[in-house]
Structure 1
Amino acid sequence: MKIGIDKIGFFTPHLYIDMNKLALARKEEPEKYTIGIGQDEMAVAPITQDPVTLAANAAFNILNDDDKKAIDFVIFGTETGIDHSKSAAIYVHHLLGLKPEARSIEMKQACYAATAAIQLAKGHIALNPDSKVLILASDIARYGLNTPGEVTQGAGAVAIVISANPRIMALEETSTYQTDDIMDFWRPVYSDTAYVDGKYSNEKYISFFSSVWNTYKEKTGLGLSDFEALCYHLPYTKMGLKALRTIYDEGTEADKERLVDYYQTSTTYNRRIGNIYTGSLYLSLLSLLEQKPLKDGSRIGLFSYGSGAVGEFFSGILQPDYREHLFIDKHMELFAARQEISIPEYEKIFEEVLPVDGSSLDLDVTKDPAPICLAGIKDHMRQYINKK
């Protein structure tokens, strides 16, 4: 039985900044951000959007009534959860009107959690072939204003429906993975911004890729020429290219040209949104699938990395007529409707935070065009609204 991605979509806030302008405001050469880091724009989340609403909006745009009847498991991968106890998945379950006969949980392991969720979903579908699992990967990356990590911020979510007989990508059985206790990136519970050792994190990312890639080849007998494209977790779009470069000599010049071409295509959406942590790999995959037609039956490799650290390499096979089941027009409309804001406006929004002292707050959702928004806080509870 084939198990894999039946639907996939993303959502990002309606506000963004131009990285050229951020560079000038930070007295840096624009090329340091646009070429050195590989980012053109950065999504900015207004106070009316949080990880729950981003995920709910991503799923809202791709689910139909049949999906809602079949989904009996909701798994929310995030490292910017809103509650130490209640899972973000339960809020989304309610906002989408899913049936009560379902499990809803939240998973955490830095940027890796959505991949763990997919592997868990595969097991669930194997035991329950008629059901569907909704995977949500949603985060708001915050490092702080005027910090080295500011250029790798972003906000957005990816929603994925995992099912039997998937229409987009069948996931192959073999997967290789690794865990090591390191401190390359972390965010203590008392901090709303992350701490990162950037150089060390880059080194571990590449070493983890090398390890799981080599183990995958040993287990499967497959090599570089067997892959039409490789997609990577992208905290910034230059990162995956650094890893890809380490295996150039394993293939022909034609392999290298093909993989680099598809890699650049896979970064298109990420360059415009920024780092969305758990969803970054899957935003990259979505960008590849929607921006350039690939042959049915193509094998796509996926490298997932979550600091701290866990890495995994796995693969999928594109299904017949897979492009007919993508939401390309909706995603183009989403980008077209976005509004550029100035750097001072971005800084003001960044500093608007929800109260942590238990006080109530009403938010104006009329300025936010998203269907699902955060409307305020009352009695220590976030108040969500679905305008549709």
Structure 2
Amino acid sequence: MTIPIVSTHVANIDIPRPKDVGVLAMEVYFPRRCISEAELEEFDGVSKGKYTIGLGQEYMAWPDDREDINSFALNAVAGLLEKYNIDPKSIGRIDVGTETIIDKSKSVKTHLMDLFAEAGNFDIEGIDSKNACYGSTAALFNAINWIESTSWDGRNAIVVAGDIAVYAEGAARPAGGAGACAILLGPNAPIVFEPIHGTHMSNTYDFYKPNLSSEYPEVDGPVSVVTYIAALDEAYSRFREKTARQLKLAQINGYSNGHVHSGDKPADPKAAFSLQDVDYALFHSPYGKQAVKGHARMLFNDFRSAPNAPQFADIPNPEAFLAASQKESLSDKNVEKTFIAASKKSFAQKTDPGMACSKRLGNMYTGSLYGCLASLVANVEPAQLRDSRVSMFAFGSGCAASFFTFRVKGDTSEIKEKMDLMNRLAAMKVVPCQEFVDALALREKNHNAVSYTPEGSIDNIWPGAFYLDSVDSKYRRKYVKAPLA
């Protein structure tokens, strides 16, 4: 997992630039316990299907006060280093994306430096990035840009994406979750990120956390859903426009997306790229139904660009959809319903293979999209995944969004085997809903506590995992490992 450490600034010598920068290894950490959303419906006394169908959720993970974002990140990175036998000295950058803030100054990244101290590696660039669920994608882009820059020193990078998503009692609480991903990035990778990004950023108040005395956010659910869809429209449009410009600059005669050919160019240049151009499509998934809506909206955008394409032959009353403005379509339930139905088969083929973490862990905030990536690698056989192209839509409230792609150029067998993701998800303990309620009450009680020892049981920590042992009188947090047996 290491490459020779070389200087990129040797006089009169051309150092080869890194190629095929992408994912070399992955690890996912999550709590040991989860609850069934179907049981939570009964526990909360709501109608059957409110969480499982309305939100599209199956299970939800959560920790008590024995775990925090620092322990999550320590476990994800420690697991990555150990499982893949990575030399700590081979890491030159660590970027963390999280919105779980327990310190207004000290970064999560600084806690991770303990994992590199024994090897004597204190020369590691990078720091935390924050904007709701988008911080992880900012971290990813930063790490890739470092490797591809003239500042690169020949070492690999690690990106950490993770959060603990908890909500006050009420309608949003079933949309919580927890988990963290650690991604090793470097050249000559089997999973290679492509250079075009379509990005959209704007100032919105759909979800935010202004009250620093509480873990709970301020949420406007309906506004957040519309903000997500509107950001997808814009980021996807920018990506498609840039793709069209790239094709034009490369003097490619016609388009390569299988349904538009030379001599048959559409009026809308965005049709240069569509859902048909990817084998898999991954979305930020705060809950399962949002990924369904995102996939459908991507298809709707394709329809708007090329309504006469064969795959849209069965869309009813297409003129009405084309006549409506983009803004009007955001709140049009008929648009949503029609294109969810039209994309049902596509979703099953292209998006559902990446939903395992979302179904079992719930909302990982910054880790959500990268849990989808890990799930895809875990669920699809390496021979089938190889040579595929995958799109990713990242979103964070407030808001920030990007649409980008990667190609699987190599063998993902080692990542699939060493993550062992599906077996580990299955090994979680599904516990009574009262344990969930009690754990959140414990977190609420001890949030920002000083001079205290967490009350949660060590039995609920995975064997060998880091957990919060204590917080002293100066708010200094101490982490230790649970016994292996």
Q: Structure 1 length normalisation: TM-score?
A: 0.93
Q: 1:369 aligns with which of 458, 462, 467?
A: 462
Corresponding residue number in structure 1 for 2:93: 73
Is the counterpart of residue 141 in structure 1 residue 165 in structure 2?
yes
| Between structures 1 and 2, the one with greater strand share | 1
SS at match of 2:54: helix
Deviation of 1:129 after TM superposition, in Å, equals 5.9
- Which of 356, 378, 381 in structure 1 is aligned with 2:472? 378
- State the partner residue of 1:304: 394
Residue 284, structure 1, aligned to residue 307, structure 2: no
Residue of structure 2 equivalent to 1:16: 34
Q: Match of 2:225?
A: 202
CA contact (8 A) 2:66 2:458 kept: no
Conserved 8 A contact 2:77-2:182: yes
Amino acid at match of 1:287: S
1:158 match = 181
1:344 paired with 2:366, answer no
Structure 1, unaligned runs of 5 or more: none
Contact 1:228 1:259 in 2 (8 A): no
Provide the identity percentage. Answer: 27
**1:236 aligns to 2:260 (yes or no):** no
Compared CA separation, residues 10 and 150, structure 1 to 2 (3 A): same
DSSP-derived class of the 1:143 partner? coil
Contact between 1:11 and 1:158, CA under 8 Å: does it hold in 2?
Answer: yes
Give per-residue Cα distances to partners, 1:138-164, cap 9 Å, x unaligned: 11111123x111110111101111111
Q: Does structure 1 conserve the Cα–Cα contact (< 8 Å) formed by 2:29 and 2:76?
A: yes
Partner AA of 2:435 in structure 1: E
Superposition RMSD on alpha carbons, in Å? Answer: 2.1
1:360 corresponds in structure 2 to 452
Label 1:69 to 1:238 Cα distance change in 2 as closer, same or farther (>3 A). Answer: same
Q: Does 1:190 align with 2:190?
A: no
Q: Which runs of no fewer than 5 residues in structure 2 stay unpaired?
A: 1-18, 245-272, 303-308, 313-341
Equivalent-residue separation in structure 2 for 1:45 and 1:301 (angstroms): 31
Equivalent position SS for 2:363: coil
> Do structure 1's residue 3 and structure 2's residue 27 form an aligned pair?
no
| Structure 1 range deviating more: 201-210 or 242-251 | 242-251
Pick aligned residue for 2:193 from 152, 171, 186: 171
Shift in CA distance, 89/329, structure 1 to aligned 2, threshold 3 Å: closer
For residues 59 and 288 of structure 1, the distance between their equivalents in structure 2, rounded to whole angstroms, comes to 20
The residue that corresponds to 2:6 in the other structure is none
Counterpart AA for 2:217? A
Deviation at 1:355, TM superposition (A): 5.4
Distance, in Å, in 2 between the alignment partners of 1:170 and 1:177 is 19
Shift of the 324–361 alpha-carbon distance from structure 1 to 2, 3 Å rule, reads closer
User: How far apart are residue 107 of structure 1 and its match?
Assistant: 1.1
Instruction: State the alpha-carbon separation in 1 of the partners of residues 200 and 419 from structure 2.
Output: 38
Tell me, in whole angstroms, the C-alpha distance in 2 between the residues paired with 1:139 and 1:295.
28
Q: How far apart are residue 253 of structure 1 and its match?
A: 4.2
Counterpart pick for 2:363 among 242, 266, 275? 275
Matched, 1:54 2:146: no
The secondary structure found in structure 1 opposite 2:393 is strand
Distance 1:149 1:202, change over 3 A: same
The structure whose Rg is larger is 2
Moved more, 40-49 or 112-121: 40-49
Q: Distance in 1 between matches of 2:458 and 2:287?
A: 32
Looking at structure 2, the residues matched to 323 and 117 of structure 1 have their Cα atoms a distance apart, in angstroms, of 25
* CA separation of 1:323 and 1:357: change in aligned 2, threshold 3 A: closer
Q: Which moved more, 1:317-326 or 1:153-162?
A: 317-326
Match of 2:413 in 1: 323
SS at structure 1 position matched to 2:282: strand
Q: Which moved more, 1:357-366 or 1:280-289?
A: 357-366
CA 1:72/1:95 → structure 2, altered by over 3 Å: closer, same or farther? same
Q: State the distance in 1 between where 2:25 and 2:451 align.
A: 40
Query: What amino acid sits opposite 1:101 in the alignment?
Result: D
The letter of the residue matching 1:178 is: H
Q: State which of 214, 226, 242 in structure 1 corresponds to 2:277.
A: 226
Distance in 2 between the 1:194 and 1:100 partners? 35
Given that 2:73 and 2:160 are in contact with CA atoms closer than 8 Å, whether structure 1 keeps it comes out as yes
Distance in 1, Cα, partners of 2:165 & 2:447: 19
* Deviation by residue 1:160-188 (Cα, 9 ceiling, x = unmatched): 11111113x10001111111001000011
* 2:450 aligned partner, one-letter code: G
Quick one: structure 1 residues 358 and 366, their matched pair in 2 at CA, closer, same or farther if it must change by over 3 Å?
Answer: closer
